[in-house]
Structure 1
Amino acid sequence: MAARAARTILAFFMIVSGFTAGVLATAGTAHADGCYTWSRTLSEGSSGADVTQLQIRLGGYPGYGSVLAVDGRFGPATTAALKRFQSAYGLTADGIAGAATYSKLYALQDDDCTPVHFSYGELNDCNTTWSGGAVDAATAKANALRTMWKLEALRHALGDQPITVTSGFRSRACNDAVGGASDSRHLYGDAADLGAGPHSLCTLARQARNHGFNGILGPGYPGHDDHTHLDHRGSRFWSAPACGV
């Protein structure tokens, strides 16, 4: 918590410094973040690993029914996603990733690169090694990280109230034990089941359409009346008939 508070204070300082020193068009003074540090301004036409890191964090802002590619190439879709992110947090929506954008991202992430309101433990109700699924452990864990950033966007859009994750990654053994489908996306680490809380299951299913999930299953779909399921399957399949989804 102390590290998170320190990053939040530093983020505020960087934003203020940017306005007073006129450096918002650049990445600003070098800053060592516990997770990842951007060292240059990014905009349409940029490419590289730093663009990939940005895209992971913008994954929840692709627009209705869309999915943002994580390919290291800053194209029009990344520009649009960045503008939505900037607008969501009260920043100038110019589609350029500079000091103000990075400051907000630093404040939103913990030292292990997870967003502040979610953790790897929440997205893994099976084992700590992320092994035994349909993909290798590193891929499953990377998929879970992308899911968490989409959930962070969903959470923010719904007023920053808590979202309860009831199931995440499963090995084949864990999936069989709970009666999961043989081709469940939980085996890939890119699925999350959400329980009702401050928001109804239908509210979660409807809002998720804006945050990069190809798979949305909820009330009215067989076996999903007690949770809303979100995933990154290869093509869109939304079915929550009781919610109009």
Structure 2
Amino acid sequence: MLRRYVRALLAIVMLASAILVGTAVTAGSAHAAGCYSWGRTLSQGASGEDVRQLQIRIAGYPGYGAVLATDGQFGPATKSAVVRFQQAYGLTADGIAGPQTFAKIGALQDTDCTPIHFTFGEMNRCNTTWAGGAVSAATARDNALRLMWKLEALRHALGDQPLNTSSGFRSASCNSAVGGAANSNHMYGRAVDLIGSPSYCRIVQEARYHGFNEILGPGYPGHSTHAHLGDQSSRYWSASSCGI
């Protein structure tokens, strides 16, 4: 009788534990499930939309002066970026994107695909439609999403200190109103200005490791009061007061 009672009690405990574990897994993966989730482990040689989605989220880990292509091809550069992402978050750094890596991405991701510390709203204070820039609204929004994932990597590298954005996407009229350059990357959704802390020099110096081809800061005309980070086809870094 006592033996049957113990067995029944153990079964109840095990069932309760399984429910709790299931709840924890569901909660941990909720962010990822709401936006994008991966159905297979990805390693060098893989290709497809799931690789491209991975590349967007690890684009902030290409290494010094590099930019990771989001082409859906898992080559050596993508493997290296996966390794750096894994190292940054204390995961097994094998360059293979599997359950651990995807779980961490899920924990960093909101249901609209943005990283948890940045929003579409703060990347577009100009209008709510993303229209009126140099590219279509959809392209501008997509460019801003890629930029946010690079900012998430930069934020983490700076000790998880909050980064304060002051200007992201601009329509042509918004850009003109603030005196922006005629060909400003802001009009493409691929530039952001940061204010406040950390120091601008610290921001632009660290940004060199996180996939930004355009970096402007103190020492560059008109940039003593903010750090400007952007994406473009060729590199242009200038912040002479910061040694760049």
TM-score above 0.5, yes or no: yes
| 1:11 and 1:103 in contact (8 A); partners too | no
Cα pair distance change 1:11/1:200, threshold 3 Å: farther
Residue number in structure 2 paired with 1:214: 213
Question: What are the equivalent positions in structure 2 for 1:83-162 lying under 5 Å apart?
Answer: 83-162=83-162
Give the Cα separation in 1 of the matches to 2:224 and 2:180.
15
Give the Cα separation in 1 of the matches to 2:73 and 2:139.
20
Residue number in structure 1 paired with 2:8: none
Question: What are the equivalent positions in structure 2 for 1:144-223 lying under 5 Å apart?
Answer: 144-197=144-197, 199-223=198-222
Structure 2 stretches lacking a partner, 5+ long: 1-22
Structure 1 stretches lacking a partner, 5+ long: 1-7, 15-30
Residue number in structure 1 paired with 2:25: 10
- 1:145-174 Cα shifts (integer Å, max 9, x gaps): 000000000000011010001100000010
Pick the structure with greater CA Rg: 2
Question: What are the equivalent positions in structure 2 for 1:223-238 lying under 5 Å apart?
Answer: 223-238=222-237
Residue number in structure 2 paired with 1:241: 240
| 1:169 and 1:191 in contact (8 A); partners too | yes
Runs of 4+ in 1 over 3 A off after TM superposition: 11-14
1:234 to partner: Cα distance: 1.0
1:13 to partner: Cα distance: 7.0
Aligned pairs, number: 221
Q: TM-score, normalised by structure 2?
A: 0.88
Question: What are the equivalent positions in structure 2 for 1:44-59 lying under 5 Å apart?
Answer: 44-59=44-59
| 1:217 and 1:224 in contact (8 A); partners too | yes
Cα pair distance change 1:163/1:224, threshold 3 Å: same
Percent identical residues: 66
Cα pair distance change 1:73/1:196, threshold 3 Å: same
Residue number in structure 2 paired with 1:75: 75
Give the Cα separation in 1 of the matches to 2:153 and 2:27.
20
Give the Cα separation in 2 of the matches to 1:125 and 1:219.
24
| 2:32 and 2:110 in contact (8 A); partners too | no
Structure number having the greater helix percentage:
2
Give the Cα separation in 2 of the matches to 1:46 and 1:95.
12
The amino acid across from 1:177 in the alignment is A
Q: TM-score, normalised by structure 1?
A: 0.88
Give the Cα separation in 2 of the matches to 1:83 and 1:102.
13
The amino acid across from 2:223 in the alignment is H
SS in 1 for 2:165: strand
Residue number in structure 2 paired with 1:17: none
1:10 to partner: Cα distance: 2.6
Give the Cα separation in 2 of the matches to 1:100 and 1:48.
20
